[in-house]
Chains A and B, each alone.
Chain A
C-alpha cells in the first residue's frame, strides 16, 4: 500500500484573550493509504474540521499550525511550502468537499465556471478544453442533463445537485486524496445515501484515498476501512471499522454508539452522553473526557496516551491498562 498522507502530532493553536494560546487540535496523528477510506468521527467542536483545513494550510487567521507538527503528502512536506508551491498542492493533491453546499459555492458564477476554474488553476488547458472536462466531471458525479447544469448558477440547483457540483470541483485537478467534511450533514436522508454512493464509486474508480469527516457513526459502517474517533482535539480511539463496531472500547465511543438508534437488535432506551464538548479554552487536565465519563476513576486525572486494546486497535484511556476493567468492558459491550 502506498502511503499518500502522513500526519504526525498535528497541533493547531489560536491566541486566547489572556495572551496564552489554546489548542483546538492537539497532537493528532493519522495516515491514509491509496484507495483507503478513513473516517474521522466526533461531535461538533472536537477539532475534526480544523484538522482537515490544516492539511491544506487553510486554518483561518489568527490560528496557526504549531511547530513540531508534521504533514506529509507522499514526499511533500506541506508545512514547509510557501506561496506558489502551496497553491499548487491545493486541489491538486487534496480535493476538499465542505458541509454546506448552499454556501460553499460562489453564487455569482455558474457550476461550469467554478469547476473549470479549478482545472485551469493546475493544468495548462484552453477554456473550451476545461469546459469539456467540467462536463465530463458533471457526468461522473451523476448529474442529469450535465450539459444544461454546466451553465446553471448554484441557486438554480437543488442541495444534492450542489453537493455533486462541489464534488466535481474537488475532483477538478485529479487529486489523490479527497477530504469530505460532513458532506451529507446538510442534505436530506435520501440524498445523503446518493452522495455517499458517489464518493464510494469515485474512490474505487480513481483509486483515491478518502478522509470522511462526520459526526454520524451511521454512515461510517460499510464505507470506511478504518475509524478514528476524536474528542476535544485528540484522537481517543482508532481501529478498523469492523473491530471498532464490534468492540467499541473508549467510554466516549461507547457513548456515541449508545446514542445512535438501531433498527435491529433488542429495543433499548437511547442514552445520550451527558453534557457537551467544553470549548477548547476549558479542557480539563488529565483525561479530557473525565467530566462526562461514567467510568472515570482515580487514574483519570492523569493524561492517557493512545494504548493498544486489540489488533490495530488503540484508545486513549487508562481502562486499556486494567485487564479487569477491560473484561468488564467487553462483556458489557458484547
Chain B
C-alpha cells in the first residue's frame, strides 16, 4: 500500500517525523518497507497483512496513526443523500448468498471529462492512471475509504435490469480495459437483459463502462463474498485493487458512506442530479458488534499490568468505544473476574477483531511491543521425552567422525530434476513428484543422496585434486504417496581414500555407536572414487549408548606375528576368524601386512587369570597352524 504523507494529514495531525512514523507503523503492524522523499511529499510503502483490509485505504492508515499519536481522526464531511421524486427505472435482482450487500444510486445529466488537477495528482501519487472524472472519483473514494466502487453507464444497461448471479463456466467477458476472458464456474456476475456487464468485485465490463458520451451513471458499492472473489480471481489470474479488498473482507458497514462520498464528488465535479432513491439491498444489518476483554486475562497473557486507564485510552484511540464494567469484589469469585471487563464495540471495518485475544493484541501493539519487559517462562521444565524426538547429538557425533577423517559436509536440495534421475538410471515414474514445481530441475523428491553428491564431486574437480564430501539428509521413498517415507541417509564420496580407508571409517562410526554391522555392503567402488550410502534412520535404531568399563588386564599379553602363505582365493576375514576360534586366549588378531599370497597376522594372546607361558602359547600356535593348513592349505612362511 502506497501512502502519501500529505493525504494522511487531511485526516489526522501528525507530529512524528517520517522516520519515527515509519518505525511506529512497523511496530503496530503496518510494516513500513520504504520511505521515499519526493519534492513536495513523503511516500510510505506499507506491507499490509491479510487480516487488515481496512488499511488498504488512506483513512485506515490514518486511523492507525491517530491511535499511535492518540489523536482524533477527521472523517470527510458527508452529505445526506437527496432523494428524488422522479426516479429513473432500474430493477435490481440479487441474492445475499452471493452478494451480501448491494448499495447504489443513479445520477443523470453528468458531463464526463478530465478530472481536476488535485484529483489527478492524488491518483498519480498512488501510481494510478487518471482516466476520466467519473472513473477517477470511484478510484479516489476506494483509495480514501477502502470500499471499491464501480460506475456503470445507465443507458447501456439493457432492459433497465441488473441481475446478480453465478456463472456456469465458459461465458465470454471483456473487461473495461479491453481484455477478453472466459469466465470460470461460479464467478459472480451482473447481467442486464442480454449480457454480462460486470465481473463482480474484480473488473467492470467494457460494454457498460463510463466513457465520454455517458450521460447517466449507476454507482454500485457492493459487499462481496471473499471466497467467491478469491476463487474467480485465482482462476482467471486477474487481481485488482478491488479484488484484494473483497478477498480479505470489505467494510460491510461502509457502503453508504462511500456512496455518499462518491455522489457528492460526482455532483461537484461532473454535475448532474440524483436520479433514483438509494438502493441498499441486504438481508442483514451490518452493525458493529460487541467484544469483551477481561482485564485480568489481559494482564495474564501479556505478562504486565497495563493500568486500566491506559488500557481504556488505547481502546478508545482505536475507536473501539470501551466501557469498563468493574469486577465483582466478592471473595469466592475466581481471580479472572476481579479486574472486571471492558466491553468494546467493534466498528464494521475491523473484521479482524473477533475474539478476546484480538483485543489483547490491540492493547499490546499500541502500548508498544518494544516497551515490554522481557521474562523467561516460569513453569516446570518437561522431562518426558517429546513425541517425534530426534537425537541431534548422535548426528553430531557421526558428523564429527567424518570431519576428523577429512570429509566436508554439504547440504543439497531435496528436489531434483527428471534428467538427474534418468542420467542415474532411475525411472522418474517411480519417484515422488511435485505437481507445480518451480522448474523442471526441481520436480522430483530425491530417492538417494548419490545424485547430488556426484554433482558436487564433479563441481569441485576443477578446483581440488582431493575431494571428500558427505551429506546426512532425507531421501524420499515410495512409488506413490500411499507408500511415501522420509528416511535419513548418510552418504559420502571420496577420491582421496581407498576402499579399506572408507571401510575402516564406517567401522569406526559403527563402533562408536555401539552397532554391530558389516560396512562392506554400503560401499560402492566408482570409476574414480569410492561412494558410500547408509540408511541412517535404520542404522541408528540399533544405537547402543551404553559403554561398560572393562578392568585392565592384570597379566601381560604375549604378542607375536605369524606369516602365512595361502593358496588360491582365501578371504582374510575367514583366516582371522579361524585363528580366533582356536582358543579363547587369542584376544586379538589383525592383518599386519600382505604381499602376494603371504599374509602377516599380528596375534595377541592373553589370559586374564594368570601369566601365559611360552609353552602355553606354542600349543595354541600349533593348533592355529594345523587348522589353517587343513582348512585353507595355508603354511607358515619361514
**A and B associate in one complex:** no
Interface residues of A (CB under 8 A from B): none
